[in-house]
Structure 1
């Protein structure tokens, strides 16, 4: 999962808000500047960056991931770089760009230029502006994982007529207090790094803490069961190389301000499930330490007849969406009906 940076590794295509998108190639990418009334920060000027792949007349599905996800979900005919959801988007999959238009966007604040509290409602409203910009009246579905699941809920709540159904994976209607405390400590690690004039080291430590919360003890037992070693007079355990490499990759591509503000945004999220009037498939993972199964059961109960629950068992915990791609694809196949349904 990687955050979009101010200097993106992908070639940019600036599309002013007043100019309609007329290129009907299989994949398009653009950005525009808009005024966004934010819940906690007032009116701000933001840049909305997006990518869409698929036939221009096909039904549209929005795909949104965790706070590190971005607009490039999978390699396509125009943008060959590997995407963050590579195993879920492609020919023969439920999210097949030959049959659907798959739309994704960079979260507001992901470029690190917005140093203000960011609500999931702000992300939902930014998406509504994007749909207006692209002349898309209604989504076939919004598939959200982790933070994207929170944004999906807010979008259905605030723009109910613009989405036909939701698939929310590992994202509840509120932050669990344990997970919120875990993220608060990660933010303190960054603050400590900043006090020492080394915020990158603080972010690296926060990322390492995060990886422990994303995955499970079962996976670590299987992968890192080697005996500790004494290196330069200090004990080093088997998982440290993995954690160090993961942290280094993340710090190299992630603005600290972006990570802090989007981490906070998760904890700000809170909706009333009873107010969500859109048919919703909720996917929970047993062993997810950040979004417990019990919280997603509560979400489904609040949804009433509009909600249904699917439960996965996976050693990958919160990251199961990214690792169990075949199983997630099967769930999406039954959760998303193609054009012609009347739900």
Structure 2
């Protein structure tokens, strides 16, 4: 793996105040679902004007039995597969899993991937126009004044409720498979608990039944980094020309270290300086340059306020809340289930997946993804993940409905 980008970050123009997709930007492969009524929220109140951006691959069978729901992690989006193109600044994050002949074979399966509610790549979130919010006084707003800091608190259950509305709009009563890793796994287990009759099979990767104290502790550092940035402005920065980029960049640096594994970082970077820089005289170590690069990349494609909303939703994750506890909640799952952890994951250690597998009555033994890459192994080790996808889908493989035109 390269330790530095082909085009140095300092050679790029400065990022905008937000990397969110906004009205007037290229649409790319996105489609939209618009809710017909406000969404009631678990924390109280409701969210009007809900829209979910989503992408699809393959063709829905006449009996609608071949639909698969893929749920992304914190800074992911709907672009699971496909190249960099207008509207999609990054390649598909699971390219090796989706397509003809791949684990999610689009000659057979209709794959649906929504951008999560609260996200920033086309779905309703803090950067979206607030219904009835009027125009921004700055004149920079596209489509009306953004929600900004007034965007409400969300939970994983709210996000799944919005996704259930998308499924209804597509005419999908039951998913053949629901799968996701990390934050996507949180939503996947909520799907199986909230809608067992709509979840045909379940794959949970590098996730947990509830956010742990350590998850919340790491998240708190990241939230404080963003909110302490003077350009945070209470979340109302989107049309001011200055966003909390330093804070979001620091949050990303912290998060990225937790996503990887110490042996990998040591093997790749050790104590080497970055190029000709001298760490004894203000220069960087190579590992610091690597973190700088990832911070800059995220600032160009993500929104700080969405990062806050989604991180708070992850902190609130507790599948047993209001359901008699974790054991009682997971007893509702009826779908054939595989739970997998990454052997080098220090953010979601394997014990958390072992607990999920033990408490889900329909789960097989916990599977272990062998990887040097830590938590990110669920994204990188696509051959191992693909084997599990094929195992779950094999019993229900449909006849070929035809390729997506």
Is 1:245 the counterpart of 2:293 in the alignment? yes
How much does 1:220 deviate?
0.4
User: Which residue is 1:40 aligned to?
Assistant: 43
- Say if 1:41 and 1:118, in contact at 8 Å, map to a contact too: no
Match of 1:321 among 375, 378, 387: 378
User: Which residue is 2:200 aligned to?
Assistant: 164
User: Which residue is 2:95 aligned to?
Assistant: 86
2:52 is paired with a residue whose SS is: strand
User: Which residue is 2:54 aligned to?
Assistant: 50
CA distance in 2, matches of 1:224, 1:340: 44
User: Which residue is 2:104 aligned to?
Assistant: 95
User: Which residue is 1:217 aligned to?
Assistant: 262
Correspondence 1:21-36 to 2 at 5 A: 29-34=31-36, 35-36=38-39
- Cα deviation code 1:288-331 (max 9, x no counterpart): 11111111111111113434310122111111121111121112
CA distance in 2, matches of 1:205, 1:268: 22
1:326 is paired with a residue whose SS is: helix
- Cα deviation code 1:26-50 (max 9, x no counterpart): x873332442111114211211221
In structure 1, list runs of 5 or more residues that go unmatched: 13-26
User: Which residue is 1:24 aligned to?
Assistant: none
- Say if 1:176 and 1:290, in contact at 8 Å, map to a contact too: no
How much does 1:101 deviate?
0.2
How much does 1:147 deviate?
0.7
CA distance in 1, matches of 2:342, 2:364: 17
- Say if 1:144 and 1:152, in contact at 8 Å, map to a contact too: yes
CA distance in 2, matches of 1:191, 1:55: 43
Match of 1:288 among 328, 335, 345: 345
How much does 1:92 deviate?
1.5
- Cα deviation code 1:78-117 (max 9, x no counterpart): 9995322112112211111121000010100102426221
How much does 1:51 deviate?
1.4
CA distance in 1, matches of 2:165, 2:200: 18
When normalised by structure 1's length, the TM-score is 0.87
How much does 1:159 deviate?
1.3
Correspondence 1:108-147 to 2 at 5 A: 108-111=117-120, 112-113=125-126, 115-147=151-183
CA distance in 2, matches of 1:86, 1:209: 26
CA distance in 1, matches of 2:93, 2:250: 22
Question: In terms of mean alpha carbon deviation, does 210-219 or 234-243 score higher?
Answer: 234-243
How many residue pairs end up in the alignment?
A: 325
- Say if 2:226 and 2:232, in contact at 8 Å, map to a contact too: no
User: Which residue is 1:5 aligned to?
Assistant: 21
Moved over 4 A (4+): 7-10, 78-81, 195-198
How much does 1:277 deviate?
2.9
CA 1:307–1:235 in 2, change beyond 3 Å: closer, same or farther?
A: same
CA distance in 2, matches of 1:98, 1:29: 21
- Cα deviation code 1:41-88 (max 9, x no counterpart): 421121122111112216001011202121121128x99953221121
How much does 1:335 deviate?
2.3
CA distance in 2, matches of 1:319, 1:223: 16
1:122 is paired with a residue whose SS is: helix
- Say if 2:72 and 2:116, in contact at 8 Å, map to a contact too: no
CA distance in 2, matches of 1:90, 1:183: 34
CA 1:170–1:196 in 2, change beyond 3 Å: closer, same or farther?
A: closer
Is 1:208 the counterpart of 2:253 in the alignment? yes
1:136 is paired with a residue whose SS is: coil
- Cα deviation code 1:116-153 (max 9, x no counterpart): 21100011111110011111111100011111111011
- Say if 2:334 and 2:362, in contact at 8 Å, map to a contact too: no
In structure 2, list runs of 5 or more residues that go unmatched: 1-18, 127-146, 234-242, 320-325, 399-405
Is 1:297 the counterpart of 2:354 in the alignment? yes
CA 1:54–1:4 in 2, change beyond 3 Å: closer, same or farther?
A: farther
- Say if 2:98 and 2:105, in contact at 8 Å, map to a contact too: yes
- Say if 1:215 and 1:316, in contact at 8 Å, map to a contact too: yes
